[in-house]
Chains A and B, each alone.
Chain A
Amino acid sequence: MEESETFMGFENEAPPGQISVAEAAIRLGLDAFTVYSFIQRDRLSPILDDDGEYVVSEEEVVALAQPKKE
C-alpha cells in the first residue's frame, strides 16, 4: 500500500432494500443522529446486517418521506 494512495470511496454497500443510517438521513433531509433517535423511538425498525451494523429498511424510509396516510 502506497502512502500517497487515496482512500475515499470505500463506503460499504447495504444489501438491496436496506440503506445505511447516513443514507436515510440524506433522503429525509435530516442528520444521522436524528435517524438514530427515530430508531430508538420506533419510527424506523433497525435491521442488523451480517457484519453487525444497524441499517434501515429503504421502504420504511420512503414511507417516512411521504405524506402521512390519514
Chain B
Amino acid sequence: MLKKNGQPWIPRGPRGSGNDLIGNEALAYRAASHSVERDLHPLENIKEQLNALEQVRWERSNPPVQETFKAPDGTTWDVYAHLVKLPNSRILLCRPRNSPGWSVVQEFEEGSAYARNHGRTEVLVQGQNVREVVTNYVAQANHTLRFAERNLVAKAQKMVWQHFPENNPGKVVEALMEDCDKAVTHKRSIGESQAQNIRQSRGMRV
C-alpha cells in the first residue's frame, strides 16, 4: 500500500480534492473493498457482456444455428447466439425449431439444485423481433445489475459501520459506493472490443 508521511494512503479523485483515504481510513477501505470485490467482480463482468450486446446489430435474416437442445416438452430449440455467460448458467438467443418467434433463454448447469427440480431452461423474454427481444433482455439485466449494486452498497455500508466505526466510515462508504457504481456503469469502451469479437466470430452484419 502507498504511504504518505508514513501513513497508509489511497489517493482518490483529483489532487487536493480531499478524497484521499489516509491512515486507518485507508486500511478500513482496503479491508471492506477486498470483501466487496468478490461480489462486485462478477457484476462487472456481466456489465461488460451487456455492453458488448448493445453494440451488436441483430439484423441478419438467416443467422447460422450454433447448437440445439431439446426441452422436456419435446420442443427442439435452435441456439443462434450466446448472449451472456454467468458462473453457473448461460443466456442464449434461441428459436423453437420451425417457429418465427425469438426467445432469450437461461440454461442452468445440469447439477444445480435449482435445475434438478425446475428444469435446465427458462424463457426470460419472447417476441417476434430479434432486436427487440435482445434489447428487452439487456434492459432487464441492467435493471438487475443496478439492484445487485445497490444491495452490495448496503452490505458494504453495514460492514464498515460495524467494523470500522472509528475510521471515518462515511468517507470510506462513499469511496466504496463510487467503486460499485463504476463497476455497473463503466464506459462503453471496455465492452466495445468484446462486441467487435462477437460480431467477427458470428459473422454478423454491422
| A interface residues, Cβ below 8 angstroms from B | 1, 3, 5, 7-8, 10-12, 20-22, 27-34, 36-37, 39-40, 51-54, 64-68
Question: Is B87's CB under 8 angstroms from A12's CB?
Answer: no
> Can you list 20 A-B pairs, Cβ within 8 angstroms, ordered by A?
A1-B27, A5-B31, A7-B32, A10-B162, A12-B155, A27-B113, A29-B115, A31-B42, A31-B88, A33-B43, A34-B88, A34-B89, A36-B147, A40-B144, A51-B158, A52-B157, A53-B154, A65-B113, A65-B114, A68-B118
Specify which chain A residues have a CB less than 8 angstroms from the CB of B43 in the assembled complex.
33
Give chain A's interface secondary structure class: loop
Residue in B88, B144, B164 whose beta carbon sits within 8 Å of that of A30 in the complex:
B88
Decide yes or no: A29 and B39 within 8 Å by CB, A21-B151, A39-B147, A40-B143 being known contacts. Answer: no
Residue in A12, A22, A37 whose beta carbon sits within 8 Å of that of B144 in the complex:
A37
Specify which chain A residues have a CB less than 8 angstroms from the CB of B158 in the assembled complex.
12, 51-53
Known pairs A28-B112, A29-B111, A36-B147. 4 more at Cβ < 8 A? A30-B112, A32-B39, A36-B151, A67-B117
Interface check B126, CB cutoff 8 A = no
B46-64 interface bits toward A, Cβ cutoff 8 Å, 1 = contact, 0 = none: 1000000000000000000
Give chain B's interface secondary structure class: helix
| B interface residues, Cβ below 8 angstroms from A | 1, 8, 24, 27-28, 30-32, 34-35, 39, 42-43, 46, 86-89, 106, 108-109, 111-115, 117-118, 140-141, 143-145, 147-148, 151, 154-155, 157-159, 162-164, 167
Residue in A7, A31, A54 whose beta carbon sits within 8 Å of that of B31 in the complex:
A7
Specify which chain B residues have a CB less than 8 angstroms from the CB of A37 in the assembled complex.
140-141, 144
